[in-house]
Structure 1
């Protein structure tokens, strides 16, 4: 059922994007979020990592030129490093686990492209449809 949810998520995300012009934080993200609905802390942690990566990317954009694939790669690397720092510094008593390795970076990239409100609302709508 795992693969089916992700594939259905891609199809619904694509349809949603075509109908509204808004991306639900990436094509694969709603499927992975829907698979993690039983662990809301894990979802919150993943979104926190994405927001921190997005903010860090905004700061880095002031001192270096970030666009396109370079920006996408930097967002993925930043989200990976932030998660690594949090887990290795024992800020939390356990490793909550990010949803996927790439998911926070993909979310951060979409936050940069279309803004926090549009990205998050679109993500909630498509994930809600998948949850049905």
Structure 2
């Protein structure tokens, strides 16, 4: 039933994109965020990793050619490395873990592509729609 929410998130994301011409921070991201609504610390941690990744990839773009697939790959890899470094450093004992392994990189790429405000706003709208559907069907991820 958890994967159903991710798939439903993809469908709603596609419809939202077609209607508004805005991407809700990727196709799978809203579903993963919606499934973690009971863990706001994980959502915040993932957003922080995405913001840091976005900044680092922008800096990398000053010294290397990063467009298209290269930029996307760099975002995924940088997000993974940041999370790995935080984990092995022990700086945040019991840190909340990133949502998925790719979500922060996808978010960072969308921040670069369409801007932070548009990405977060459209992500919030699609996650709210998913949360409402989850509430109506009594999905266990909401714990109701």
Task: Provide structure 1 residue ranges, at least 5 long, that are not aligned to the other structure.
Answer: none
Structure 1 runs of 4+ off > 6 angstroms? Answer: none
In structure 2, distance between residues paired with 1:126 and 1:99: 17
Tell whether 2:23 aligns with 1:23: yes
The equivalent residue for 2:14 is 14
TM-score, with structure 1 as normaliser: 0.98
The equivalent residue for 1:48 is 48
CA deviations over 1:69-122 (Å, ceiling 9, x no partner): 010000000000111111111111113111000110000110000000000011
Tell whether 2:92 aligns with 1:89: no
Task: Provide structure 2 residue ranges, at least 5 long, that are not aligned to the other structure.
Answer: 133-144
How many aligned residue pairs are there?
132
Tell whether 2:125 aligns with 1:125: yes
The equivalent residue for 2:141 is none
TM-score, with structure 2 as normaliser: 0.90
